[in-house]
Structure 1
Amino acid sequence: MDVLVIGVGGHGQVVADILLAMRAAGDADVNPVGFLDGNPNLQGRVFLGLPVLGQDQDLNAVPHDAVIVAIGDNARRRRLYEHLLRAGEVFANAVHPSAVLAPGVILEPGCMVCARAVVNTGAVILADTILNTGCVVEHHNRVGPHAHVAPGAVLGGECVVGEDALVGIGATILPRVRLGDGCVVGAGAVAVRDVAPGITVVGVPARPR
């Protein structure tokens, strides 16, 4: 399956690296062919051995079987994902070989699971969600769609992370806490109770900013 990576920024290169690692580990279904990016100054450049093949509007001119939207910002990633979904695109998942996913974990299309992430039994990861480096998603969580669990964050058992939510670097979410759509849990914060939609919380324990 030839996969185009949409976005060649820092996160896009991480996702490309994951796809290359999957191929190197023997996943014959994954073949990253290059990037598309809206920045015209990047056209023709090569990152991680993969070329920038065009801008977003060049998608139909580049042969591919699937895409993955590799943009860290939730809102931008969601808009592009939904546009491509309406256009009939197929979405690949990028799951690093060092990530640990329990049997039966549900991973919807377009998700990115980075190196050393752990996803335990009963978890459901909805479309276009990022589980970043070294995060822990405990048992029976429901995460996303279009959410981002940042590096080193830990979600206790039976948590719910809403659409477009961001769990910051090193944050901790206690078991059964619900994070509303579009909320932000700041880096290093500890959420001990539910967080309302659209609210940013910081500190230990986490409180609205």
Structure 2
Amino acid sequence: MNVIIIGAGGHGQVVADILQAVVKSGRSSIRPIGYLDDQPAIPPSARLGLPVLGPVARLSHYDHQGVIVAIGHNATRSRLIQQLCEQGEQLISAIHPTAIVGGEVIIEAGTVVCAGAIINPGSHIGRGVILNTGCTVDHHNRIGAYVHIAPGVHLGGDVTVGEGTLVGIGATVMPQSQVGVWSIVGAGAVVTTPVADRCTVVGVPARPI
């Protein structure tokens, strides 16, 4: 299966590395063939051995059977995924071979699970989520679409994180906590009480700003 990566920045190269690791492990026949990126500052040079093929509008010019949107900004990733789905594109996920995925875990299409991430049993991971390096998602979590769980985050059991939310590097969300949609949990924060929709919280314990 030929796959095109949307986004040639840092996260795009992380995704390329995951896909290449999956191929080397023999777990999948997915073959990343290159990146598409609308940023004019991105030169048409190889990154991790894959070419930058041009802007996203050229997607139909290349033989492919799947796409993955590798853009860290949640709102941009959401918009592009919805656009590509409307065009009939097949979203694929990228799960690093060193990630640990427990039983009865559901991972929806377009999600990236980075090296060292852990998802414990019964959790549901929505469409287009990023579970970044070394994060832990404990049992029976509900992670909404387009969420970014940053490196080193720890989510306790029975946590709910709403659509589009960013949980920053090294943050901790205590068990049974609820975090609203399109919110931001600052780096290193400790969430002990519910976080409202479209709210930014920081500190220990986390408080709105």
Instruction: Give the TM-score band, short-chain normalised.
Output: over 0.9
Percent identical residues: 52
Distance across 1 between alignment mates of 2:175 and 2:132: 20
Structure 1 match to 2:63 = 63
Distance across 2 between alignment mates of 1:164 and 1:192: 20
Query: Could you tell me which amino acid in structure 2 is paired with residue 201 of structure 1?
Result: V
Query: Could you tell me which amino acid in structure 1 is paired with residue 100 of structure 2?
Result: V
What do residues 70-117 of structure 1 show as CA deviations (whole Å, max 9, x unaligned)?
Answer: 000001110111100111110010000000001221000000000000
Structure 1 match to 2:31 = 31
**TM-score with structure 2 setting the length:** 0.98
**TM-score with structure 1 setting the length:** 0.98
Distance across 1 between alignment mates of 2:37 and 2:184: 27
Query: Could you tell me which amino acid in structure 2 is paired with residue 156 of structure 1?
Result: G
Matched, 1:49 2:41: no
Please say if residues 145 and 164 of structure 1, whose CA atoms lie closer than 8 Å, have aligned partners that are also in contact: yes
RMSD: 0.9
Query: Could you tell me which amino acid in structure 1 is paired with residue 88 of structure 2?
Result: G
Structure 1 gaps of 5+ residues are none
Structure 2 match to 1:166 = 166
Distance across 2 between alignment mates of 1:125 and 1:31: 24
Secondary structure, aligned partner of 1:54: coil
Distance across 2 between alignment mates of 1:201 and 1:3: 37
Matched, 1:84 2:73: no
Measure how far apart 1:62 and its partner are: 1.0
The 1:107–1:166 alpha-carbon spacing in structure 2 relative to 1, beyond 3 Å, is same
Please say if residues 43 and 54 of structure 1, whose CA atoms lie closer than 8 Å, have aligned partners that are also in contact: no
Report how many residues are paired: 209
Query: Could you tell me which amino acid in structure 1 is paired with residue 110 of structure 2?
Result: G
Please say if residues 43 and 55 of structure 1, whose CA atoms lie closer than 8 Å, have aligned partners that are also in contact: no
Measure how far apart 1:43 and its partner are: 4.9
Matched, 1:142 2:142: yes
Measure how far apart 1:40 and its partner are: 3.5
List 4+ stretches of structure 1 deviating above 4 A: none
Please say if residues 5 and 70 of structure 1, whose CA atoms lie closer than 8 Å, have aligned partners that are also in contact: yes
Distance across 1 between alignment mates of 2:147 and 2:28: 28
What do residues 133-188 of structure 1 show as CA deviations (whole Å, max 9, x unaligned)?
Answer: 00000000010200000000000000000000011000000001011000110000
Please say if residues 109 and 128 of structure 1, whose CA atoms lie closer than 8 Å, have aligned partners that are also in contact: yes
Measure how far apart 1:54 and its partner are: 1.7
Structure 2 match to 1:13 = 13
Distance across 2 between alignment mates of 1:169 and 1:45: 30
Distance across 1 between alignment mates of 2:201 and 2:144: 18
Secondary structure, aligned partner of 2:4: strand
Query: Could you tell me which amino acid in structure 1 is paired with residue 174 of structure 2?
Result: L
Secondary structure, aligned partner of 1:35: strand
Distance across 1 between alignment mates of 2:43 and 2:55: 7
Please say if residues 43 and 53 of structure 1, whose CA atoms lie closer than 8 Å, have aligned partners that are also in contact: no
